[in-house]
Structure 1
Amino acid sequence: MGRNGFAVLPLTTGRWGDLADLFGPQGPCYGCWCNHFRMPQRLRKPLLGEGARRLFEERVRQGPPPGVLAYADDKAVGWLQVGPRADIPEWNNPRRASTPLADAPAEDISNWAASCFFVRRGFRGQGVTGALIEGAIDFARESGARLIEAAAMDNREKRSADGLYVGPESVLRRAGFVEVARQKPGRPLLRLVL
């Protein structure tokens, strides 16, 4: 078993069924299926639900893995979308908390983003997010990333578990991420240089 008792593995085609089980029939975040930062809302919104699921499944099939899964025994209990900023163009929008800085442009595929977190109900507050982050750091290093950034929720902001899909600041800081900018109130841009 891996960190905090959870194994963390890249999402490959062979693990698609584990992600589908974790996300449930509708998918998290109102049927987004982790397409929120992959395309503009006008294109994404009509796909919510089954269309978004099919689109993300095709993305996984094409590879490379778009993130990591955390497992408790052989059941997926957490997901973190992590990969090059270039793969999630909406995350790079100039009006977002995650807008890239001049020293880490989105076009450089060695600049990665940890953009979407999801933890299964019943496993929240048990260290899954920390395990996902540590597993994502290993995955990013092995894949040639230079750095990982996250536009987390500020520790002072009170949010529901669903609202933490961008990641909790405190857990990212414990993993070594440091604030490099604050482009929106309550949303620090955190970075870990690998």
Structure 2
Amino acid sequence: MGAASFFVCPLTPERWNDLEDLFGPQGPCYGCWCNHFRMPQRLRMPLLGEGARQLFEDRVKKGPPPGVLAYAEGKAVGWLQVGPRAHIPEWNNPQRASTPLPDAPADDERNWAASCFFVRKGFRGKGVTGALLDGAIDFARTSGARLIEAAAMANQDKRSAEGLYVGPETMLLRAGFVEVARQKPGRPLLRLVL
């Protein structure tokens, strides 16, 4: 199954049930529901599980779409959180691999981040991540983004699938991203100018 086998589109309120089905009742990443970079840990931890699910559902209903879903045979098989850096403030902290550079400040809504990937078990290693990234690039372009950045995981062959939620370096490089900084060992900050 190649990337051409997948349909990718923004997560709108009408597609919320598809995301819930993809994430499962507990939600991915120990009940995070893609709130990890949206708020400080002290506020996020008490919400894990149902509180985090409700918070993210409210975010999706409010709009704009916070990312893209990949579908195979009518079922959601992958998710990529992608949008303006300003929407995920914790991604911009000075201690992170994803700390913004002076030429791409976080408060400029045209500077986007691809921060979290999730692929359904049984579909990993089948091109879903690449399809998600292609769809995210299209979504960013049509939304007026100037660039997309990702703080990828280098040496991903030694990491678990869960550790790759930030994206594998090799796949991002194949998509045309280039390294612009390495603020933490093994975590290059990659950029695609649109």
Same fold at TM > 0.5:
yes
After TM superposition, the runs of 4+ consecutive aligned structure 1 residues lying more than 3 A away are none
Gapped regions of structure 2 (runs ≥ 5): none
**1:69–1:79 Cα contact (<8 Å) kept:** yes
Aligned to 1:59: 59
Aligned to 2:90: 90
Q: Give me the CA root mean square deviation.
A: 1.0
C-alpha distance after superposition, 1:128-183 (max 9, x if no partner): 00000000000000000000000000036611000000000011111000000000
C-alpha distance after superposition, 1:97-130 (max 9, x if no partner): 0000000000000000000000000000000000
Gapped regions of structure 1 (runs ≥ 5): none
**2:115–2:151 Cα contact (<8 Å) kept:** yes
Displacement, 1:3?
3.8
Q: How does 1:56-135 map to 2 (within 5 A)?
A: 56-135=56-135
Specify whether residues 117 and 156 from structure 1 end up closer, same or farther in structure 2 by C-alpha distance, changes over 3 A only.
closer
**2:156–2:164 Cα contact (<8 Å) kept:** no
**1:151–1:187 Cα contact (<8 Å) kept:** yes
**2:156–2:168 Cα contact (<8 Å) kept:** no
C-alpha distance after superposition, 1:56-90 (max 9, x if no partner): 00000000000000000110000000000000000
Q: 1 CA distance for matches of 2:93 and 2:28?
A: 23
Q: Is 1:147 the counterpart of 2:153 in the alignment?
A: no
Farther-moved stretch of structure 1 (138-147 vs 151-160): 151-160
**1:70–1:132 Cα contact (<8 Å) kept:** yes
Q: 2 CA distance for matches of 1:85 and 1:127?
A: 26
Equivalent position amino acid for 2:179 in 1: E
Equivalent position amino acid for 1:71 in 2: Y
Q: What is the number of equivalent residue pairs in this alignment?
A: 193
Q: Is 1:42 the counterpart of 2:34 in the alignment?
A: no
**1:157–1:186 Cα contact (<8 Å) kept:** no
Equivalent position amino acid for 2:188 in 1: P
Aligned to 1:182: 182
Q: Is 1:138 the counterpart of 2:119 in the alignment?
A: no
C-alpha distance after superposition, 1:13-51 (max 9, x if no partner): 000000000000000000000000000000000000000
Equivalent residue of 1:36, what SS?
A: coil
Displacement, 1:55?
0.1
